[in-house]
Amino acid sequence: MRNEKLKDCLDDALSGIRENPWLYQQVLHRAERNEQIQMKKKISFSMVLVICLAVVTMSVAIAAVSGWSVLDFLFGGREIKPEMDVMPIHQESVSDGAYLKVDSAVYDGRMLAFDWYIENKRPETEMFCSVEEFTANDVSIWTDGTDSFNQQWIPGMFSTGAWQDGELILLPEELQGSEQLHIHMKVKLYRPTRPVYQMDVFDPGIAEQKAKEGYYVIAEGEGFVGYDENEKRWVHWIGKNPAQGMGDYLTEELTVSFDIAKPTDGYTILETEAEYENEYCTASYKTAEITPLGLYLTLEINPKDKTVLHGGWLELSDGEGKSLTEADRDRFWPSMGEEYGASPHIGRFSWNGIKADDLPDTISLTYYFPDGERMVFPIKVR
């Protein structure tokens, strides 16, 4: 999936963004949070959600790393940062020309989040970052794709050559519930030896011209520029082999590893119906709980007869179907969402930092049809 062309990815992703308010809200929210800082664009390999988020992501080029933590990564745009069981990590890796640091992490048995800081110590020479190994308990996991330093050039869009952000990862099923995780991440860095020409916006004509002049062309600080033999045109790729078309290059590696334990307290299973039924569907919650990291809801909807769940969306509401995200989007916008399949239709969402005290007595993951009709699936909080 990562080998799709940049333009095709964006065209497909953005064409239906308003049909899914979670995606649309995230794009707007990130734009609002970052209107005073430099923004970048990032194409994900995992899901359309991340592709859409990438258009207006929040990564910031910085000159210093002091005061950055996993809570800043998760809640940097909020006035109040929730209390969490944060584990200090303080792991760093240094090569001749680069530096990587992880300071803190949180884990709840289902999701893992940690901060990171990466720096090109020789910013006059572009370096391309590629995560070559990323495992939890020796099981492969993937960067979250949102503001991830994988597939990025540094400085690229980050003029200081330094960049801080983090990862928020929903773990594979076989890892969920693990009492302890051993995280290992190796980042390989590629530096082309020929001069680099960087364009802020990809232009195939300029790319061809500069390549003929001997430059290695990069565009928009990420991915690869090259000539597509099949399509007979110059294109901008995401996810190609880092060394492809680079010619001569130098490599370095940065590696960090750390252990983190699952907290023993702070878990609440919410009360749901065994099954919900209405004229449109039957449904059930596969997950409805509050953990030390926040609120998780996973709803499976099985449409009846010819009901088509297309163009609608799922959103956190009170027990009557009144949207909580609309009432307080800074607090109730989900940190991660995933919808897939026509039958059953599954929606999985998480809200970092949300505790029982933040919620009304009854909540719902409510499905809103485009015509205003809604399906409410109440959950008792208290």
pTM value? 0.77
Question: In terms of C-beta density within 10 A (0-12 exposed, 13-18 middle, 19 or more buried), how is residue 334 classed?
Answer: buried
How many other CB atoms are found less than 10 A from the CB of residue 268? 14
Is the pLDDT score of 305 beyond 80?
A: yes
Domain boundaries, the chain: 1-58, 61-193+249-261, 196-237, 268-380
Is the pLDDT score of 95 beyond 80?
A: yes
CB crowding 360-381: b at 16 or more within 10 Å, else e: eebbbbbbbeeeeebbbbbbeb
pLDDT class for 85, splitting at 50, 70, 90? confident
Cβ contacts of 80 within 8 Å, gap of 6 or more:
none
Same-fold call for 61-193+249-261 versus 268-380? yes
- Spatial CA neighbour of 43 closest among 239, 260, 199: 239
- 106's enclosing H/E stretch is strand 98-107
Question: How many CA atoms lie within 13 Å of 324's alpha carbon, on the beta-carbon side?
Answer: 22
Q: By mean pLDDT, which of 37-51, 88-102, 276-290, 337-351 is the weakest?
A: 37-51
For the segment 370-380, what is each residue's pLDDT rounded down to a tens digit? 988 999 999 99
| Average pLDDT over every residue of 357-376 | 94
- 31's enclosing H/E stretch is helix 21-33
Across the chain, how many H-helices and E-strands are there? 7, 24
| Average pLDDT over every residue of 213-234 | 89
pLDDT class for 147, splitting at 50, 70, 90? low
- Interatomic CA distance for residues 47 and 146, integer angstroms: 11
pLDDT class for 115, splitting at 50, 70, 90? very high
- Interatomic CA distance for residues 360 and 245, integer angstroms: 56
| Average pLDDT over every residue of 47-52 | 36
| Average pLDDT over every residue of 285-302 | 95
Is the pLDDT score of 44 beyond 80?
A: no
| Average pLDDT over every residue of 285-309 | 91
Is the pLDDT score of 14 beyond 70?
A: no
Q: Tell me, what amino acid is at 120?
A: N
Q: What is the pLDDT of residue 146?
A: 67
Torsion of CA 326, 25, 355, 352, to 10 degrees: -170
Q: What is the pLDDT of residue 64?
A: 40
Dihedral class, residue 311 (left if φ above 0, else alpha if ψ from -120 to 50, else beta): left
CATH of domain 268-380: 2.60.40
- Interatomic CA distance for residues 351 and 110, integer angstroms: 13
Provide the β-strand partners of residue 362.
380
Q: What is the pLDDT of residue 311?
A: 83
Tokens matching residue 84: 């969490």
CB crowding 302-322: b at 16 or more within 10 Å, else e: bbeeebebeebbbbbbbbebe
- Spatial CA neighbour of 294 closest among 347, 339, 349: 349
Q: What is the pLDDT of residue 93?
A: 98
Vertex 106 angle, CA 295 and 46, to 5°: 70
| Average pLDDT over every residue of 344-354 | 91
Q: What is the pLDDT of residue 124?
A: 92
Tokens matching residue 275: 């099954």
CATH of domain 61-193+249-261: 2.60.40
| Residue scoring higher pLDDT (315 or 33) | 315
pLDDT class for 123, splitting at 50, 70, 90? very high
Q: What is the pLDDT of residue 148?
A: 74
| Average pLDDT over every residue of 72-87 | 80
Q: What is the pLDDT of residue 242?
A: 75
